Amino acid sequence: MTDHVLVAVLDGVMTLTFNRPDKKNAITDAMYGVLADSLTAAEADPAVRVVLFNSNGDSFTAGNDLMDFAAANASQGGAPIGDERNVGRFLKCLARARKPLVAAVRGQAVGVGTTMLLHCDLVYVADTARLTVPFVNLALVPEAASSLTLPSRIGHARAYAMFALGEALDGKKAEAWGVANEALPEDEVDGRALHAAQALAKRPLGALTITKGLMRDAEHLAARMDEEGGLFAQRLKTPEAAEAFAAFMQRRPADFSKVG
């Protein structure tokens, strides 16, 4: 267990709070483990009717902790992001979640911080929030089935610009494009999301879960996650990825011209 993810259950709502503000809530393997275990427990616990994601500090999450991620990848020989890894477990939990998922987003939501929102049923963002999916910048590919979910939500051209050019989505545009339900002043986001989660917790759970199941093809999403995970693992072994990660560590622009 890690205190970098806080878990609380009250009145039918399980709240999962990113609690690593000094690192912009960058997610480690241990944090993914807590998230996966908590979502699994939520599905099995009749006392939990809704899951709410939120954060402490000025960022929702900076995405993967790259140092922790690189170390985990090296120790596992670049294995695909499958169910045996905590990140893979978490992503599959998102895909297969039957109970409602709600998110409150303030500040940066990088990589998985954005792609996980595409599996949430209600999303409330600060109008100053900044959502990015900079996988191509790191010579990688999308994950969390976002190669399906993002273009289906906002269209191919907009999604490709976010993936390939690293273009950011601010809170107001996230609302306008259908990624978020509502963009709010930053100090109103957590309260609005909690109110929505509490309202869902009072709805008939059977009807909620069936409705969600009709709206999503969970196994299709899980299969795309497997496909993306295999390609992601392959990309990690490429000279392009080596240059991207070296540039990140050295705080310089990457030069992909020298790796073909």
Question: CA 65, 168, 60 angle in degrees (round to 5)?
Answer: 45
pLDDT for the residue 7: 98
Please report the pLDDT score of residue 173 as a whole number.
98
- Give the bridge partners for 7, in sequence order: 16
What is the distance, to the nearest Å, from the Cα of residue 228 to the centroid of all Cα atoms in its chain?
A: 15
pLDDT (0 to 100) of residue 75: 57
In the chain, what are the domains? Answer: 5-186 (3.90.226.10)
User: Over its length of 260 residues, how does the chain's per-residue pLDDT go in tens digits?
Assistant: 479 999 999 999 999 999 999 999 999 999 999 999 999 999 999 999 999 999 999 999 999 998 776 665 555 555 555 556 899 999 999 999 999 999 999 999 999 999 999 999 999 999 999 999 999 999 999 999 999 999 999 999 999 999 999 999 999 999 999 999 999 999 999 999 999 999 999 999 999 999 999 999 999 999 999 999 999 999 999 999 999 999 988 999 999 998 86
H helices present in the chain, as ranges: 29-44, 66-75, 86-96, 112-115, 146-154, 156-164, 171-176, 189-201, 205-215, 218-236, 239-249
Q: DSSP assignment of 111-155, as one string?
A: THHHHGGGG-SEEEEETT-EEE--TGGGT----TTHHHHHHHHH-
- Report pLDDT for 228: 98
Predicted pLDDT at 259: 85
pLDDT of 260 reads: 66
- State pTM to two decimals: 0.94
Residue 74's pLDDT is 58
